[in-house]
Structure formats: C-alpha cells, structure tokens
Chains A and B, each alone.
Chain A
C-alpha cells in the first residue's frame, strides 16, 4: 500500500493567476509566505491587505483576500481608517521603500506612534522598481541608480534610512523585525515573523512591523541568484537582520 503526501503545493491563499513580477523577484516569495500564514491562521476571510503604488500595486490580484489600493505612501492612513472602523479584521499594509520611506514617511511614523493595530509589511529592495530604477531612501552608499548614476554619495544624497531602527524607538511599536528570503533558513524565519506579527495584531498588542530586505534583479542589473547573494553580502551589512522591538518578549521575561 502506498501513501502519497504532499510536501508542498501552491497555496490557496494565492489566486491561481500568473504574476507580472520579474523572474526571481522576491515579491512572489513574500506574497506566498503571507498567503500561507493567512491559510494556517484561517484568516483569509477576515484579512484586508492595503496595496501600495509600486510593483506590488497589483497584490490584490494575487493574494486571495480583500484588498484596498492606497495612494502612494498613504497605506498606513488607509489601514488606520479600515482597522479603526473594523477592528475585527486582520489588516496589513504591503509597501515598498518609496511608498513607506519616502512619500509615506510621515504616515508610517504617526501610525506607529499611535500604535495602530495593523501590520506593516515593508519590502525594502533599495531601489525604485516600478518606475525603472531610481534611487530610493534606502539605496546604499555607492549603489548606482538612474538618479544617482555614479553611485549614492553621502554629501549629495544623504545617508540611507534605517526604518526598522527609527520606528522602533516609538512606544507604539509593539513588534519589529527585519528579515529576508534570500536563503531557506531566512525564509523560514521570515514566515515565523509574519505569523508572529499577525498573531500579535489579533491580540491587540500594538503596531507590528516586518521589514524584508528584498531584491530587484532587473534594476540592480543582476541575476536573481546573484541578487539574493547581494542581500546577504551588502544590504545586510547596513541593514542588520533581527528583532528591533518586541514588547511581548519583555513581558515574558518579566513573568519568568
């Protein structure tokens, strides 16, 4: 007698459609992790995602839950409107580095300061993808882009923003972790981080924030595999992976 077990198949947290993302783009992987977590937590019926302006503007066509498209940078405000009027929903934003760290810098600071009870998924690939490769607030020093053609210079362009570190200084931030999906161990950690963030949201702990160091093979001018390596070799040096805030950890420590 033979028993066949599925080790992995396409999650039904994703719609059965092709994505427009470039080959090897980490959006596809991260969408999948969110989809898997929503299925495992049985939240597909109660989830509302807020999509950005950026490559992931079409995320609502890919994830199998409700979505609201937000104006550029304003996802934290849109999420505030959704979650405050519908506190039972699982609300998450999905923003790129232009959306969150440039035009939306004000909104994310205030949403985290207010401890808004939604989850931010921040996709940091250090460049503007959709519009063709311009410099992002998170572009690294020396990194070339179409608007920093000889490479980012501190004097001319300022230094890159470390959003997880900055936002974690606020009391309203309950849980903040920086992760990546550049290899399998990190992919598993990243999925756990999403699950923790969503779990804490349903417990009403405060704002939860997961920053993904992510790739843009097309605009970095690298193969997808090399792009994943660059996340670990270069991005990771300026943006360390790890937990920057965890109010529940303090609580657990206090209880021991």
Chain B
C-alpha cells in the first residue's frame, strides 16, 4: 500500500493541527518556506512512513490536505 498526501500549499495557514494528530509524526511546518499568505505551510517529511489514516486531512480546518492510498493488486 502506498499512501500519498498532497497539500494545497497556498491555502495552508500553518496552524499545526495536522502535525499534532499525525500518529507517525511525519508532518511538519517548514519554517524556511512561506506561502503566498505569509504562513509556513505544512509538509510531509517521510511519505513512505505514512499509513493513510487521514487524520491530518480530517482535522485540517481549511481542507488543504488530500490523502490517497494505492494498492498493488
């Protein structure tokens, strides 16, 4: 199973809630990047560790996260 997490970076407000609910602690706010709104957007540090639980996407107040999982048959 391959999980994929994508972010609508321009809409992220850098609130950090996604980071706090990731069971694998692989989300972070990259303070070297600022988006068009001036926030440090969220990002995934290690996509391979992602278990596609969807917590981050569910709690994001701005619905910037999409989570998909791909299964090889």
Do A and B contact each other directly (Cβ–Cβ < 8 Å)? yes
- Rounded to whole Å, the gap between the CB of A210 and the closest CB of chain B is 18
Size bracket, chain B contacts = 20 to 34
Residue of A5, A24, A217, A224 with most chain B CB atoms under a 10 A cut-off = A24
List the B side residues contacting A32 at CB < 8 Å: 58, 61, 63
* Contact yes or no, A23 B71, CB < 8 A: no
List the B side residues contacting A183 at CB < 8 Å: 21
Q: How many A-B residue pairs have CB under 8 A?
A: 90
* Contact yes or no, B55 A23, CB < 8 A: no
* Contact yes or no, B14 A23, CB < 8 A: yes
* Contact yes or no, A223 B16, CB < 8 A: yes
Size bracket, chain A contacts = 20 to 34
B73 at the interface (CB under 8 A from A): yes
* Contact yes or no, B16 A225, CB < 8 A: yes
B17 at the interface (CB under 8 A from A): yes
Q: Which 10 A-B pairs have the closest CB atoms?
A: A28-B61, A24-B15, A23-B13, A8-B57, A23-B15, A10-B63, A7-B67, A8-B54, A224-B15, A7-B54
Q: Which residues from chain B sit less than 8 Å from chain A, CB to CB? A: 3, 11, 13-17, 19-21, 39, 52-55, 57-63, 65-73
* Contact yes or no, B17 A6, CB < 8 A: no
- Rounded to whole Å, the gap between the CB of B62 and the closest CB of chain A is 6
Q: Mark A200-234, 1 if CB is under 8 A from B, else 0.
A: 00000000000000000100000111001000000
- Rounded to whole Å, the gap between the CB of B65 and the closest CB of chain A is 7
Contact of A181 among B20, B59, B63, B68 (CB under 8 A): B59
Q: A4-B70, A7-B69 are in contact. Are A28 and B57 (CB under 8 A)?
A: no
A9 at the interface (CB under 8 A from B): yes
Closest residue of chain A to B15 (Cβ to Cβ) is A24
* Contact yes or no, A29 B59, CB < 8 A: yes
Contact of B62 among A1, A19, A228 (CB under 8 A): A19
Closest residue of chain A to B56 (Cβ to Cβ) is A8
